[in-house]
Amino acid sequence: MTSIRSPQQLGHALRAARKQLGLTQPQLALAAGVGVRFIVDLEAGKPTLRLENVLRVIDALGGEIQLSGLPPVAANDQLEGSGHGA
Residue ranges per structural domain of the chain: 7-60
Contacts of 14 (CB under 8 A, 6+ apart): 42, 43, 57, 58, 61
To 10 degrees, what angle do helices 51-60 and 7-20 make?
Answer: 30
Count how many residues are written for the chain: 86
Return the ∠ at Cα 34 (arms to 24 and 25), rounded to 5°: 10
The CATH architecture that domain 7-60 belongs to is Orthogonal Bundle (1.10)
Q: List pLDDT tens digits, range 31-65.
A: 999 999 999 999 999 999 999 999 999 999 999 99
User: Please, which pLDDT band fits residue 72 given cuts at 50, 70 and 90?
Assistant: confident
User: pTM score > 0.85 for this model?
Assistant: no
